[in-house]
């Protein structure tokens, strides 16, 4: 075991925040050709989207890991973003392309969000009920559920009317490069709402790190707290998935990096660092790949590769204990 | 006063706690003994509202544990269960500070910090208060959790087999610590124990459980006897008396 030098949480936070601001500035200004008014609005929209996504994924992952009491599972690993894609697909399939196209995308998104809270709550109960839950089994079933949702989505996409599929494609197949601008406002609002709900509960979440029973013993209403925080997680996953699509290992990567950098288990310290790291990775990574290395589409692949390796490392390390 | 009123709990077809009714008044050290699977831990979990009973109810100072707000109850009753694994990386001081949560809701003041330091010193871990839990031995970790219960400063402190992992030196010093806790005015300590000699030495009252029922209840001199060994624990042995204390010696 490496020696534990008590790192100052504030120092880490300052460093991560400066890096985040630096990458945002670089993202906005580097390699700018053409009129500034165009560049700033064009890039500003993408920056806002990336920051919202970074925020949503970092917060939802850390909260989810606190709720489930481990550091391997994330909403994405458990197939929650695949569930959101399936929801989007089935909604378009049910309404028809014309029907779905006629509805305000923000309204549609809200409906999807609500359904997501309900369905993922159900999935969560299914996977985490009972006291003798066993982690490898939960990981496996989560991966299986993810595969199931993805297969169902692609099945629906194959049998659906080509015109409907076009509508769906415009709506649902977002990525880091192609962000759906109509939803940024709603997604950002949801992220702010999530913050307002979670902020007064951070101290209770800290206690939850001790495990459900101990938290109950210390006077935390764990059932209520889990329900609220879980709903917040579901909404945040919906927001990030609607904006940029699924990101399997991104949350895992930033959350575990944050745990590594911060010597404390306090959410008030871990969450800001996780958010900062997520912004650095997304905005900085996108900037590097696009402007410096000149690649077009590879960020999600790079992140999933690094994140996937991290996932395996954590899995092996926890298996050895 | 903890009042347990006709509490039942079954897992599947097995009745683990079978219509248990008990009253535990304020003050002193109460030991619960019994063979494995007698329902001791389950009963403790039900008293501390970590588990729901199938029927019956538990009152702590007149408050129904399932209906009272958790925070209210956490200031009256603390519980330490057997398993002592924590997913997060915490130092001893971090862990013990959680004991103050029912009082400060996560905003510690100077008084809280002093109580935390005092609790850590009480269990003899003050030299390593900033070590991480995963760097401790099993016994040290056990004592850290006891310190957390101390910091919680509840009127009723429940411990489920707190002597696991402890050598005789630490077991004895921990029992002395419980004894001191129980001797403070208005404080009650309830401990599930396996070692009958330890129970006989330190407890004011011993409750014996077997197959989910209470089969014995009283002072050590009334409860620790040959009948207990042969009928409840099914071992051969003698109960001898040294300086007025009952001592169990099992046959080789």
Q: Where residue A233 sits, what CATH number does that domain have? A: 1.10.3470.10
Angle between helices A105-128 and A135-159 (to 10 degrees): 140
A1 in any annotated domain: no
B237 in any annotated domain: no
Find the mean pLDDT for residues B64-93: 88
Q: Is B28 buried (19+), middle (13-18) or exposed (0-12) by CB count in 10 A? A: middle
A157 in any annotated domain: yes
CB–CB of A53/A119 below 8 Å?
A: no
Tokens read off for A242: 């609607």
Tokens read off for A132: 């003798």
CA distances to A104, A107, A115, A119, A190 from A111, in Å: 11, 6, 6, 12, 13
Q: Do B167 and B140 share a structural domain?
A: no
B42 in any annotated domain: yes
- Considering only CB atoms, A216 lies closest to which of B49, B132, B152, namely B49
Tell me the nearest-neighbour CA distance from A56 into chain B, angstroms: 22
Give chain B's domain count.
2
pLDDT single digits (tens) A263-307: 777 899 899 999 999 999 989 888 888 777 776 666 777 787 888
**Beta-sheet strand order (sheet of B14-24):** B14-24, B2-11, B55-60, B63-64
Domain span holding position B118: 85-153
Q: Is B73 buried (19+), middle (13-18) or exposed (0-12) by CB count in 10 A? A: buried
Q: Which residues of A149-179 are buried (b: 16+ CB within 10 A; e: fewer)?
A: bbebbeebbeebeeebbebbeebbebebeeb
| Residues of A with Cβ-Cβ distance to B75 under 8 angstroms | 219
Q: Do B179 and B110 share a structural domain?
A: no
Q: Is A221 on the interface with B (CB under 8 A)?
A: yes
CB–CB of A295/A176 below 8 Å?
A: no
Query: Which ranges of chain A have pLDDT less than 70?
Result: 1-7, 128-135, 171-180, 295-298, 318-321
- Enter the pTM of the model: 0.85
Determine phi and psi for B129, rounding to 5 degrees: -60, -25
Q: Do B148 and B170 share a structural domain?
A: no
CA distances to A204, B44, B221 from B217, in Å: 39, 16, 11
Q: Do B130 and B7 share a structural domain?
A: no
Is a pLDDT exceeding 50 seen at residue B27? yes
Domain span holding position A19: 9-320
Beta pairing class for B245-250 and B205-210:
unpaired
Among all residues of chain A, which has the CA nearest to that of B68? A219
Tell me the nearest-neighbour CA distance from A148 into chain B, angstroms: 30
Confidence (pLDDT) at A321: 47
A34 in any annotated domain: yes
A162 in any annotated domain: yes
On average, the pLDDT of chain B sits at 91
B39 in any annotated domain: yes
Q: Do B131 and B163 share a structural domain?
A: no
B231 in any annotated domain: no
Q: Do B164 and B148 share a structural domain?
A: no
B228 in any annotated domain: no
| Dist. CA B211–CA A34, nearest whole Å | 83
CB atoms within 10 A of CB A33: 5
Confidence (pLDDT) at A167: 78
List B159's β-bridge partners, or say none: B80, B191
Is a pLDDT exceeding 90 seen at residue B166? no
């Amino acid at each position: 075991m490496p020696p534990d030098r008590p790192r100052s949480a504030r120092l880490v936070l300052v460093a991560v925040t400066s890096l985040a601001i630096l990458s945002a500035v670089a993202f906005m200004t580097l390699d700018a050709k053409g009129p500034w008014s165009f560049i700033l609005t064009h890039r500003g929209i993408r920056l806002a989207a990336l920051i919202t996504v970074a925020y949503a994924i970092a917060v939802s992952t850390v909260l989810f890991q606190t709720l489930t009491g481990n550091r391997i599972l994330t909403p994405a690993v458990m197939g929650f973003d695949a569930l959101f894609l399936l929801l989007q697909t089935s909604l378009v399939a049910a309404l028809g392309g014309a029907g779905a196209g006629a509805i305000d995308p923000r309204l549609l998104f809200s409906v999807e969000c609500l359904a997501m809270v309900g369905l993922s709550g159900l999935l969560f109960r299914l996977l985490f009920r009972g006291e003798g839950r066993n982690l490898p089994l939960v990981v496996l079933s989560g991966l299986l559920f993810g595969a199931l949702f993805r297969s169902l989505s692609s099945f629906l996409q194959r049998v659906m009317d080509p015109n409907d599929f076009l509508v769906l494609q415009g709506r649902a197949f977002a990525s880091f490069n192609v962000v759906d601008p109509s939803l940024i406002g709603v997604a950002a609002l949801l992220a702010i709402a999530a913050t307002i709900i979670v902020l007064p509960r951070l101290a209770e979440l800290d206690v939850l790190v001790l495990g459900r029973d101990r938290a109950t013993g210390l006077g935390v209403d764990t059932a209520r707290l889990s329900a609220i925080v879980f709903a917040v997680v579901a909404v945040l996953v919906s927001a990030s998935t609607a904006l940029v699509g699924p990101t399997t290992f991104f949350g895992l990567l930033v959350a575990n990096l944050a745990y590594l950098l911060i010597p404390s288990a306090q959410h008030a310290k871990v969450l800001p660092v996780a958010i900062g790291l997520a912004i650095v990775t997304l905005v900085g990574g996108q900037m590097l790949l696009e402007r410096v290395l000149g690649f077009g589409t590879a960020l999600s692949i790079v992140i999933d590769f690094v994140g996937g390796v991290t996932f395996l490392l954590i899995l092996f390390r926890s298996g050895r204990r | 006063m903890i009042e347990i009123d006709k509490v039942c709990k079954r897992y599947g077809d097995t009745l683990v706690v079978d219509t248990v009714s008990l009253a535990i008044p304020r003050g002193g050290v109460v030991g619960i003994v019994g063979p494995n699977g007698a329902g001791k831990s389950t009963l403790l979990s039900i008293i501390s509202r970590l588990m729901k009973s199938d029927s019956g109810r538990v009152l702590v100072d007149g408050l129904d544990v399932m209906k009272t707000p958790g925070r209210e109850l956490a200031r009256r009753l603390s519980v330490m269960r057997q398993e002592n694994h924590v997913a997060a990386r915490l130092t001893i001081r971090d862990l013990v500070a959680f004991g103050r949560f029912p009082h400060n809701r996560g905003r510690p003041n100077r008084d809280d910090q002093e109580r935390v330091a005092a609790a850590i010193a009480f269990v003899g871990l003050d030299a390593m208060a900033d070590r991480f839990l995963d760097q401790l031995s099993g016994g040290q970790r056990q004592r850290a959790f006891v310190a957390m219960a101390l910091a919680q400063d509840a009127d009723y402190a429940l411990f489920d087999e707190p002597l696991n992992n402890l050598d005789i030196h630490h077991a004895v010093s921990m029992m002395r610590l419980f004894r001191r806790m129980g001797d403070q005015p208005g404080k009650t300590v309830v401990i599930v124990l396996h070692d009958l000699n330890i129970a006989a030495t330190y407890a004011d009252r011993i409750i014996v459980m077997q197959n989910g029922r209470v089969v014995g209840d009283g002072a050590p001199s009334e409860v620790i006897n040959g009948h207990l060994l042969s009928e409840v624990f099914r071992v051969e042995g003698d109960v001898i008396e040294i300086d007025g204390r009952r001592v169990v010696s099992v046959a080789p």
